[in-house]
Amino acid sequence: MRFIVGGIMHETHTFSSEPTTTSTLPTFRGDELLRYAGVNHSLGGTLDACRDLGIAVAPTFFADGVSTGTPDRATFEALAGELLRRIAAALPADGIVLNLHGAMVAEDFPDAEAEIVRRVRDLVGSTTPIAVTLDFHANLGQAMVEACDLVTTYDTYPHIDAAERAREAVQLLARTVRGEIRPTMALAKPPLLPVPQAMFTARPPFKTLLDRAHDMEERGEALAVTVAGGFPYSDVPEAGVGALVVTDNDPRAARRLADDLAALAWELRGHMQVANRPPREAVAEAIAYPTGPVMLVDVGDNIGGGTTGDGTALLAELIAQDARDAVVVIADPESAEAAIAVGVGAMVDLSVGGKVDQRHGEPVAVRGVVRRITDGRWIHEGPENAGAPADMGPTAVVAVGGVDIVLTSCKSMPGDLAQLRSVGIEPAERQIIVVKSAVRWRGGYGPIAKHAIDVDTPGLGSVDLSRFEFRRLRRPIWPLDPDFAWSPEPVIGV
Ligand SMILES: [Zn+2]
């Protein structure tokens, strides 16, 4: 058996002004994709599963970048075009595995992944099955369900099962090719638009939903079941929660199970609300705790969700309140360069952060001592992306009183202890650590954190969705429209 493998993974924050171009997205071609083998990532899981099942792999093209703004038509056509050309050159194959995100938006294509899969379908025809893997934050739509044969979506956030869900997709695709199963799918879309912070899958309400989904799988009612949380900062009709069920040649059962999950999600919506603390109170509380680390969760500047990574609300407050033993990572190439230029041990005056846009706080003027300079490279310890290399660009640590500011050249998601260790900081020994994240931080920091405070910081990750001007989103949708009734359409004959 031989599978063609490739994909494009981008979570598009449609309110972001940061451009997404072919040069901002790292791309891999042909055998370059094989570097993902063994990595806890969709592509890694796909490659590993094929190897274990004795399936030959034709690696084509892969793009995978941090969340930023909407790619224009030319960028989309360049990326999709290369993927399609390379797939065409690799044909024939027994099956296609596409590793996509599910919340990519491009100019002219609000559901960019559905467009990609449609084009692949047109290319390979209806007899070659297509399996798609998506992120838990996918904004699932009917067009995707119609364009492919089966979809698997992560069941975890932080995304610690990315490789496992891809392995599931490969196994199901292989069984489909062998004629053992005939996947049928149904998608239900309750009108729910929770924020990422409400989607931590180790706790209700999403734990409740995913437990129900796993029950359906374990009872043998379905081949694969998931509830995707969706990505609320993509202003598209399909944004929000989706329940997706894959059954074996039983579309009615798929419909019924998806509707059951959607109804349960709707019932649980009250538990999808979050309330965060103002920065001043949060910092005072963090300082007062007798033991650390205390995680100050900078939800408004959640880098993984498409923010700038240069938000200053918590940095300013930590300096104002003279915090001790605190660490903040700020993406600010100018400041990193200035600190690197003066060298370790020298004093430097900087205007830190708040530069990319007007939504993440003002730049903060500081005078500090350069403690450390690195090339910004490190390897993920995991659990998310374990084994994958990371590159923050040239990086400097500048101590301002009791606050260590890690100045990186590129924005770099928190959630892995190796990030701070790479600049000589042992996270477990610190009193206060600011994480520019909503939930992802829990992957690495969860086991060592003594306390965590979710902070209502400004930015593109704000949990107050009324701060964003939605134009294309379907309405009504909770919580933007708080009072309306909803239930799944009744299914005739089930
Ligand atoms: Zn995600």
Question: Residues near 402 by Cβ (< 8 Å), separated by ≥ 6?
Answer: 322, 323, 324, 325, 326
What are the structure tokens assigned to 354, written together?
A: 């708040």
CA distances (Å), origin 389, targets 36, 166, 377: 10, 20, 7
Dihedral through CA 253, CA 255, CA 257, CA 262, nearest 10?
-170
Say how many Å lie between the CA of residue 368 and the centre of ligand 1. Answer: 36
Burial 462-492 (b: 16+ CB within 10 A, else e): bbebeebebeebeeebbbeeeeeeeebeeee
Place of tokens 């202890």: 417
Say how many Å lie between the CA of residue 102 and the centre of ligand 1. Answer: 9
Exposed/middle/buried for 125, CB within 10 Å: 0-12, 13-18, 19+?
exposed
Say how many Å lie between the CA of residue 12 and the centre of ligand 1. Answer: 11
What string of DSSP letters covers 360-392? Answer: S---EEEEEEEEEEE--EEE--SSTTTT-EEE-
Q: What angle do CA 179, 183, 187 make, to 5 degrees?
A: 175
Question: Residues near 133 by Cβ (< 8 Å), separated by ≥ 6?
Answer: 7, 42, 45, 46, 97, 98, 99, 100, 151, 152, 153, 165, 166, 169
CB atoms within 10 A of CB 71: 27
Say how many Å lie between the CA of residue 336 and the centre of ligand 1. Answer: 28
Say how many Å lie between the CA of residue 198 and the centre of ligand 1. Answer: 13
CA distances (Å), origin 71, targets 180, 316, 360, 472: 40, 33, 22, 17
Say how many Å lie between the CA of residue 159 and the centre of ligand 1. Answer: 7
Say how many Å lie between the CA of residue 290 and the centre of ligand 1. Answer: 34
d(CA 307, CA 311) in angstroms, rounded, equals 9
CB atoms within 10 A of CB 358: 9
Q: Where are the alpha helices (DSSP H) in 178-250?
A: 206-218
Which H or E run contains 98? Answer: strand 95-99
Place of tokens 């109804």: 263
Which residues share a beta bridge with 378? Answer: 390
Q: Where are the alpha helices (DSSP H) in 225-324?
A: 251-267, 279-288, 313-320
Say how many Å lie between the CA of residue 137 and the centre of ligand 1. Answer: 5
Exposed/middle/buried for 22, CB within 10 Å: 0-12, 13-18, 19+?
middle
Burial 360-384 (b: 16+ CB within 10 A, else e): bbebbebebebbbbbebebebbbbb
Say how many Å lie between the CA of residue 216 and the centre of ligand 1. Answer: 23
The pLDDT of residue 489 is 76
What are the structure tokens assigned to 121, written together?
A: 């379908």
Say how many Å lie between the CA of residue 154 and the centre of ligand 1. Answer: 8
What are the structure tokens assigned to 344, written together?
A: 């370790």
8 Å CB contact between 412 and 432: no
Closest CA to 293 of 200, 161, 414, 460: 414
The pLDDT of residue 490 is 64
Dihedral through CA 328, CA 333, CA 335, CA 340, nearest 10?
100
Q: Which residues of the chain have pLDDT under 70?
A: 490-494
The pLDDT of residue 483 is 92
Say how many Å lie between the CA of residue 42 and the centre of ligand 1. Answer: 12
The pLDDT of residue 142 is 97
The 10s digit of each residue's pLDDT in 215-240 is 999 999 999 999 999 999 999 999 99
Overall residue count recorded for the chain in this entry:
494
Question: Residues near 336 by Cβ (< 8 Å), separated by ≥ 6?
Answer: 393, 394, 395, 396, 407, 408, 409
- Asked if the peptide bond before residue 479 counts as cis, ω within 30 degrees of 0, the response is yes
* CATH architecture classification, 2-272: 3-Layer(aba) Sandwich (3.40)
Domain residue extents for the chain? 2-272, 279-462
The 10s digit of each residue's pLDDT in 410-423 is 999 999 999 999 99
Regarding pTM above 0.85, the answer is yes
The pLDDT of residue 491 is 56
Say how many Å lie between the CA of residue 491 and the centre of ligand 1. Answer: 31
Place of tokens 């129900």: 212
Say how many Å lie between the CA of residue 136 and the centre of ligand 1. Answer: 5
The pLDDT of residue 494 is 44
d(CA 426, CA 444) in angstroms, rounded, equals 13
Say how many Å lie between the CA of residue 420 and the centre of ligand 1. Answer: 22
Say how many Å lie between the CA of residue 493 and the centre of ligand 1. Answer: 36
